[in-house]
Structure 1
Amino acid sequence: MPRGSGPSRWPGSPVPCPRSASGGPRGSTSSFPVGTTDTEWTRTDNEPEITGDDVTYLLDHVSRFVTVSLSSRDVVGAFAGLRPLIGTGGAASARLSRRHQVVPSAPGFYSVIGGKLTTFRRMAEDVMNLATGRRAGTPSRTRTLSLAGAEGLGEAIPALRARARRLRLPRATLLHLIRSRGTGASAVLDRIEERPALGEPLCRGWPHIGAEAVVAVREEMAMTLADVLVRRTRLALLLPGQGMEIAARVAALVGDELEWSQDVRAAQVAEYSREMSRFAVSEIGTSA
């Protein structure tokens, strides 16, 4: 932590996944994130973890605003992080400002202290303005740049729909691909045309398909099972059990692309299981 700042634990955001009103399976698109709490963190021996008290606190509060009854059994997963707050002489972390500061830390280097995830663009703008000598508050031109896959999407949608019909993809799958990739959905459809089995869903009730794992390796530099499930598809944060039930299948898809041996595939699944154990609800204890 930078000198003059203090850590605040950012627990939780457990992700309740209530059964659908129609009685469908857990783990559908009705999942939603819940959070956060604010607890001071002084330990340095390990990563911050969410506690049973955090889960109870958040579920008690969210239950005031939903019509279904929620319990810890409905929580798909949980995570916690640290906020690098700027200290003001012993004030409680909940009272500290979430504003950030950009300060020179060495010749040619700048440090960002404080801040929060939702102001990442403003922090980046402030750093670049200071580093390049522009006037403070000058907006970045990236504010109006299209994200990858957005350019020409409107014109591409009819062709994407036609291809999806030929490949017999469900409408929900195509909608998911367009929303998450824009025109990049075409690359996923290319993989299905090469190998139709890649159009099958990775998990029942979800629109994600095997071709996405292949594209993650070929075009998005995924090198591990966690790269695909955590950092590309985000299924680890959406599926009950952090996606362990599909881990072996996804490892096989990634392994075929990267020419993994059977031992490497098994090791990847084992490593993924260890990495995900700290997000599992069954691992959440109670506060001392």
Structure 2
Amino acid sequence: KSMLARRLPGILPLLDGNEALEVTQIHSVAGLLDPANGIVWSRPFRAPHATASTVSMIGGGPMCRPGEIVLAHRGVLFLDEFPEFRRSALEALRQPLEDRTVTVTRVRDSVLFPADFTLVAAMNPCPCGWRGSRDRECECQELSVRRYAGRISGPMLDRLDLKVELAPLFFTEWVNAGVVRTESSAVVGRRVGKARTLALQRRTTTGAASNASLPAAGLKDVCGLSRSDLNGMRREAVKRGLSARSLDRSLRVARTIADLAGERNVGPEHLAEALLYRAAGPARA
């Protein structure tokens, strides 16, 4: 899981001039800028420890310094051992994930920081970590498993668009990892770049530079959904008990899946895949 998260910046499009300037300014304010390197052109990757305080995550202190979510602006924020983070720190992420900004307030100052980051979270399936393993039996009681997952609130889970379960590798899979040919980060990165170009081409009509920031108004038109697709999505929403926010976020994911496939319109297969990612997740108490 950690390896996948750390590879993510390598397949994301390069920062453009404005984005690089934003990231550089943030690092300068935080005192992290290396004068020898000047402008920061690489996408940030931040991986705070699970013991991180709410202030270190959001920002604050006497000088209103930016926190981890601001330092991850235009990049990736990776939270390993997700349920182990303080509940207050996780809940503080909810609004920035919606607004893509965060206001840090102290006694005399209030500073609005940009916080447009990709959140990647990883967790074990249970407290012992062996639930569903093919090699070892889980020793956890069902109630403890649900309590473990319950450390993450429903509204927080609702803001995670893609939920994927990863099974441990068999020994033979580990041995053959360098033998079996798979796509390199460079190949995947080129496909991601093409998809981002399609999103940028729609910017004149949507005002959004990426699918993640597409406004809810007009989202259905951007996806090019047919009446049949809308009816099918309505049925799935009722069946799964999805909120309006969940539907909007699933549409943005479906739009991205279609872009990665080079498709002009979002089809039922793209919608089905997006909803499948949303349906997965830990069992809760």
TM-score by length of 2: 0.30
Larger Rg: 1
